Chain A
Amino acid sequence: MEHLLQFYAIYGSVINFIGINALMALSLNVTLSAGMLSLGNAAFAAIGGYTAGILSLHFKLPYVVSLAGGTFAAGLVGLVIGLPVLRLRGVFLAMATLAFGEMVRLAAVNLNVTGGAEGLTGIPNVTTTWMIYLVLAAAAYFLAVLRRSRLGWGLISIREDETAAGSLGIRITYYKVVAFVIGAMLAGLAGGMYAHLNYLITPRDYGFFIAVDLLIYNIVGGIGVWYGPILGAVMLTALPEVLRGIGVTAGPIRLGINGLILLLVILFLPNGLASLFSRRQRSDAKVEAG
């Protein structure tokens, strides 16, 4: 027990960070499961984080209310952005959401209410480890069940073949918007919890590289199952600490190692690390290779 407490005292912040990243990765998985490549989820987390932070800091609202406010603000922006943007496919959707992400970041840098480039400071740090993991478990359960629901079947069909999905009576644009909004809300929730973890949030926390990291977590972990993005987030977030533990200062070479892992996964485990645990996906990859 004492060892555990000691471990937590040293690595508590890493453990929290892993949970937040896993939640963010899950938020991107919703849109990825419908074959939509969105790079806007870091921005949705920023909207959730700033909204929740401002509600706590300036309006003195209770934590849960602030989180809900951030979640819904992100969902609302997701709806407004999603309606026009989801007419785009593939790389064009990625570009549009990337531009949206930059707009949000620049707005955060230049607005007074967000505290400019220095960010918002003095947010009460009330998010605890068990809260993060409770929300993560709930989100994972929700997404796992969602896959077996009408919406989930529709989204996977859209990813597989949009034209065929339409001919089966699936309302493509509507389903895409719903998935986009669910993803935005999850990202907003993660952003709100993160803002209440660190006393402060700055525009730097939600830049382009965060959006790309979320994508890498999904690819490394595996898009097809609910635990894939969690696996990816856990592994890649913990990696620098593990490397430090064995005496390698990971700082400057972290990105290189991430890239190497990404390459190896794409080459040898096209369905991600999750396929190591799922016999069906693995045998499937073999059939394709043979």
Chain B
Amino acid sequence: MNRLSIEGVSRNFGGVRALDDVSFVVEPGTIHGLIGPNGAGKTTLINILSGLLPPNTGRMSYKNCDLHRLAVYQMAAIGIARTFQNIRLFPHMTCLENVEAGQHLTSRRSLLPRLLQLPSARREDRQLHERAMQTLDRVGLADKAYYQSRNLSYGERRRLEIARALALNPSLLLLDEPVAGMRQGEASVVADLLRTLCREGTTILLIEHNMSFVMSLCSRITVLDFGRVLTTGSPAEVRACHEVIEAYLGAGVPHHA
């Protein structure tokens, strides 16, 4: 089954319960939002899903694999790619090279044909190069292909990180605040890209604080607060949920006070 299912995941940091019995399902081919106030445990959940942190208890499965049993590098092999909240690009590489580095699992780049200068090696390099260019074009960075990645603007770096993740040809994309710090126009470019990816069959789980972005893009939303799931539902259901409003705005004034 291609759905990502999270069942009873908990994680403590010392005495702090960052995630408390979190369960929800991300249906294949949908864009699923993960929202909640700061410190709700959103990034912790993404780190657990991508293998950077082990959960204390709970199970996660995707494509018939128990994710908590896999090493980080195996996550990419079953089609899970991610971006980072605090952008982790390769700073001394060009944009193009960043994407080419992302092609690690979708390339061969064997040593022997390269040592012998075989034409097959040159052909492969050319194909990888072209594919990386196309990926850059998807995020609108084709004209910056030969810029060093550290010289990009903040929003451009976020888009480049998405491009590097796309180079893996992922079936599940975990995005940690993909449009944070972006201008409205830039964010809508990313939104269009994510919609296209979704139509092509990619499943997307994203964390985002930009509410209009989340509400217009996601078909399902899970709300976390203090490590617990408040609710999972459609944008309309989430917007109407009493507990969600309380978590964001504080408890309302009682009627009969």
Residues of A with Cβ closer than 8 Å to B?
141-142, 145-146, 148-151, 153-154, 156-157, 160-161, 163-172, 224, 284, 287
Contact = CB atoms under 8 A, between A and B. Distances in A.
B90 A161 contact: yes
A171 B91 contact: no
A170 B104 contact: yes
B100 A168 contact: no
A161 to B, nearest CB: 5
Contacts, number: 88
B159 to A, nearest CB: 15
A157 B76 CA distance: 15
A35 to B, nearest CB: 11
Given A150-B108, A151-B111, A172-B73, A167 B100 contact: no
Contacts of A145: 111, 114-115
Interface of B: 50-52, 72-77, 81-82, 84, 88-93, 100-102, 104-105, 107-111, 114-115, 125, 148, 151, 164-165, 167-168
A171 B73 contact: yes
Contacts of B74: 169
Contacts of A142: 115
B168 A169 contact: yes
A161 B89 contact: yes
Contacts of B167: 168
Given A157-B101, A157-B104, A160-B93, A168 B76 contact: yes
B114 A149 contact: yes
A141 B117 CA distance: 11
22 contacts: A148-B114, A148-B125, A150-B111, A153-B100, A153-B104, A153-B109, A160-B92, A163-B88, A166-B51, A166-B52, A167-B50, A167-B52, A167-B76, A167-B82, A168-B81, A168-B105, A168-B168, A169-B75, A169-B76, A169-B104, A170-B73, A172-B73
